[in-house]
């Protein structure tokens, strides 16, 4: 039985799309951690490199053991996305510093492809002292170092292993280092730019069509008031072409309304932060948005300003009703719950901080409760 050209073309398009979606969610793919996805990316490497470069200005590096999608920064209006710990909290300055120092130590040519964990920690401490970096005690640096190692292991940069037969057991656990991947962790080499502001400025100078496509691919929603005139013109003029490209490239569906543009995944899989979802913070976000939109009549196409006093009062009501099932730290600390809820809603594009409260954006109206229909018996 022969396979028609159209069947083959359809399979190629589907495979390339699956690989592109995987890279958006997981910009570092290693053969060791995910062989199936890595092989898929390698199979479609040429068209993927072309698509990412042309549409988004991203660079895809594919080597024998890894694939790395090097993204460009989004514009200043895009939601902030920091690296997060397993519990959802963002990395702080100490952990980022430990991550940078650990990577620098591993890049040192004398480090080799195998290092000891205690030895790497000692090097991080020594480099910090040399550059005048101060930490808030030994516990602080050890926690930051441990979190940095977990992230590097998740990325496939290091793999922990037991000491070999010729190595001293007392020397502690060893790390196998993927030295080929290490130089590709940063999208822009430090020596190639004056400072971070220059990198962001360069990204914002990209053509309007590319900036809009980046936002649609990376964010759940782009509000009209976040688009400059050129981006708005591209959306109006090339809407149908954008829709086709988003579907072909990533399986996303473009929805354009008066309040802005949304590129969503019908499968609900292409996200780095599933919502609604489990956990106290996400439950509180959903209930808060539902309560506020119901109580104050938030409609699609509009924003809704909530002052700080009202925000605290509604959160307090939610906590009181669910104190037995919600996370104890949030029940005891309303300020902490508020901080994390506002941060999550901002990251999801459902709200943005405003003075002492927040502003619910137009997409939040999607979570307004809908009265159940009553059917005559």
Return the pLDDT at 374. 45
CATH class entry, domain 93-184: mainly alpha
CA angle 198, 201, 202 (to 5 degrees): 85
Return the pLDDT at 377. 46
- Give the integer Cα–Cα distance in Å for 299 and 127: 55
- Three-state secondary structure readout of 64-88: CCEEEEECCCCCCCCCCCCCECCCC
Q: What percent of the chain has pLDDT over 70?
A: 87
Return the pLDDT at 174. 87
The DSSP symbol for 364 reads G
CB 160 within 8 A of CB 175: yes
DSSP string, 127-191: HHHHTT---SSHHHHHHHHHHHHHHHHHHTSEEEE---TTS-GGG--EEEE-TTTGGGSSSS-GG
Return the pLDDT at 366. 78
CA distances from residue 2 to 5, 7, 10, 360 in whole angstroms, order as listed: 9, 10, 15, 55
Report field, pTM of the whole predicted structure over 0.85: no
Question: CA torsion angle for 324, 327, 331, 337 (degrees, to 10)?
Answer: -140
- Give the integer Cα–Cα distance in Å for 177 and 9: 39
Return the pLDDT at 166. 66
The stretches in the chain having pLDDT less than 70 are 1-10, 77, 79, 163-171, 189-201, 203, 272, 298-302, 370-377
- Phi, psi for residue 100 in degrees, rounded to 5: -65, -45
Return the pLDDT at 9. 62
- Give the integer Cα–Cα distance in Å for 80 and 285: 17
Which residue in the block uniquely carries the two structure tokens 């895009």?
A: 78
CA distances from residue 160 to 99, 141, 154, 172, 177 in whole angstroms, order as listed: 16, 20, 11, 11, 9
CA angle 373, 374, 375 (to 5 degrees): 115
CB neighbours of residue 87 within 10 Å:
8
């Amino acid at each position: 039985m022969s396979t028609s050209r159209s069947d083959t073309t359809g399979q190629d398009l589907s495979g390339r799309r699956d690989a592109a979606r995987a890279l958006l969610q997981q910009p570092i793919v290693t053969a060791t951690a995910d062989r199936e996805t890595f092989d898929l990316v390698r199979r479609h490497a040429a068209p993927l490199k072309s698509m990412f470069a042309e549409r988004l200005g991203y660079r895809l590096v594919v080597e024998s053991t890894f694939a790395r999608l090097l993204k460009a920064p989004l514009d200043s209006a895009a939601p902030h996305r920091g690296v997060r710990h397993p519990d959802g909290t963002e990395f702080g300055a100490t952990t980022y510093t430990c991550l940078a120092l650990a990577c620098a130590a591993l890049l040192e040519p004398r480090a080799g492809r195998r290092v000891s964990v205690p030895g790497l920690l000692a090097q991080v401490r020594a480099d910090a002292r040399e550059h005048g970096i101060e930490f808030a005690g030994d516990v602080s640096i050890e926690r930051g170092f441990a979190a940095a190692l977990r992230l590097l292991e998740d990325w496939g940069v290091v793999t922990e292993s037991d000491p070999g037969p010729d190595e001293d057991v007392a020397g502690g656990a060893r790390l196998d280092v993927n030295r080929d991947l290490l130089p590709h962790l940063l999208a822009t080499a430090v020596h190639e730019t004056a400072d971070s502001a220059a990198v962001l400025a360069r990204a914002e100078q990209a053509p309007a069509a590319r900036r809009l496509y980046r936002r649609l691919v990376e964010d759940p929603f782009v509000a009209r008031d976040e688009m400059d005139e050129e981006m708005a013109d591209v959306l109006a003029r090339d809407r149908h072409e954008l829709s086709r490209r988003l579907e072909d490239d990533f399986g996303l569906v473009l929805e354009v309304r008066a309040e802005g543009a949304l590129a969503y995944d019908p499968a609900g899989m292409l996200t780095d932060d599933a919502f609604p979802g489990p956990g106290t913070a996400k439950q509180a976000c959903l209930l808060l948005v539902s309560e506020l939109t119901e109580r104050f009549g938030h409609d699609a196409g509009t924003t809704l300003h909530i002052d700080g006093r009202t925000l605290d009062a509604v959160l307090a009501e939610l906590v009181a009703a669910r104190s037995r099932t919600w996370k104890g730290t949030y029940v005891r600390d309303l300020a902490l719950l508020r901080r994390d809820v506002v941060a999550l809603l901002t990251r999801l594009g459902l709200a943005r901080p405003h003075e002492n409260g927040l502003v619910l954006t137009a997409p939040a109206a999607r979570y307004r409760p809908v009265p159940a229909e009553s059917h005559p018996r």
